[in-house]
Amino acid sequence: MAGAFAALMAGAGATKSTPLQVAYAGSMGSMMDGGVRPAIAKALGAEMQGRAQGSTGLANMIIAGSIRPDVFISVTPGPMRIVLKAGKAERGIPIARTEMVIAYSPKSQYAAALAKAGEPGAKAWWQILETPGFRFGRTDPNTDPQGLNIIFMMQLAGRYYHQPDLAEKILGPQINPQQIFQEPQVMARLQAGQLDASSAYKTQPAALDLPFISLPAEINLGSASMEHEYQQASVKLNGKPQRPAPLVFYAAVLEDAPQPKLASRFLAWMQGPEARQILARYHYDGPGDDKPLLP
């Protein structure tokens, strides 16, 4: 593996200042901009030009031909499978993992209560989120996997805490305009105190020094060993039932990549030691023994 990695890295200087187009899950923004971009400028001599957006939306734009990146990075298998089934990539390589958390604003009037959630005698996190007037943020389940995952997570929480109406009380209708924002806006609104709490992957608030509530493995979608238990949750989108999958990030070199050789070196770099250090610094967990996705 080390030899193959070194071989792929050879000749990186020939791509000096060559632009590399990477379309990636919006939740990865802080890590891609602050960690990966400067690192590959040195390691590959490449200028990363990123497009951060919901993975499902990016996948649909890729197969429609409206965007033509070199590399696609999705969270959860679903968006990557869309690209693979359309013949736009040969395989999706697992590069990292995360889990669902509840991020909250230190400026919120509920911040103190959320910080104590779970302590003896204190209100549970879900009881605080059910408070009338509580401002909760999430993304659109039609375009962003995290928008789906928060619904899955709340359904699983309802089962876990024996509160069958928990998801409805906190989220309201599946498409709730009062709660739904574009993915990059959610964390910004949280930082500004415009939201009390939000759906998040662990990587997001940790990177911004925002507080968050960790959730049991039975509901946080972060454990591959609990995939069967996660399948108890279900959301219907456009008449089709959707079920959750563990929160694994997959990367693929696209078939019509403008810079295929550079894209391949980038994918190899993402599996190497320098990238692993960056991923860990931004609170991503390793992919473990997850297998590549194939068409």
Q: Model confidence over 87-123: pLDDT tens digits?
A: 999 999 999 999 999 999 999 999 999 999 989 999 9
Which spans in the chain are helix H? 2-9, 29-31, 37-43, 55-64, 77-85, 111-116, 125-129, 145-160, 166-171, 183-192, 203-207, 227-230, 260-270, 273-281
Instruction: Answer yes or no: is pLDDT of 294 > 70.
Output: yes
Quick one: average pLDDT of 126-143?
96
Query: 158-215 pLDDT, tens per residue?
Result: 999 999 999 999 999 999 999 999 988 999 999 999 999 999 999 889 888 999 999 9
pLDDT score at 61: 97
pLDDT score at 15: 38
Indicate the burial class of 214 (C-beta count within 10 angstroms; 0-12, 13-18, 19 or more).
Answer: middle
Look up the CATH superfamily of 2-98+247-281: Periplasmic binding protein-like II (3.40.190.10)
* Spatial distance between the Cα atoms of 15 and 199, rounded to a whole number of angstroms: 39
pLDDT score at 144: 87
Q: What is the pTM of this model?
A: 0.75
- Evaluate whether 2-98+247-281 and 100-242 have a shared fold: yes
Give the DSSP letter string of 54-90.
-HHHHHHHHHHTS---SEEEEESHHHHHHHHHTTSBS
Quick one: average pLDDT of 49-58?
93
pLDDT score at 278: 95
Q: Where are the domains of the chain?
A: 2-98+247-281, 100-242
pLDDT score at 125: 98
Instruction: Answer yes or no: is pLDDT of 12 > 60.
Output: no
What's the mean per-residue pLDDT of the chain? 92
Assigned CATH topology for domain 100-242: D-Maltodextrin-Binding Protein; domain 2 (3.40.190)
Query: 57-80 pLDDT, tens per residue?
Result: 999 999 999 999 999 999 888 899
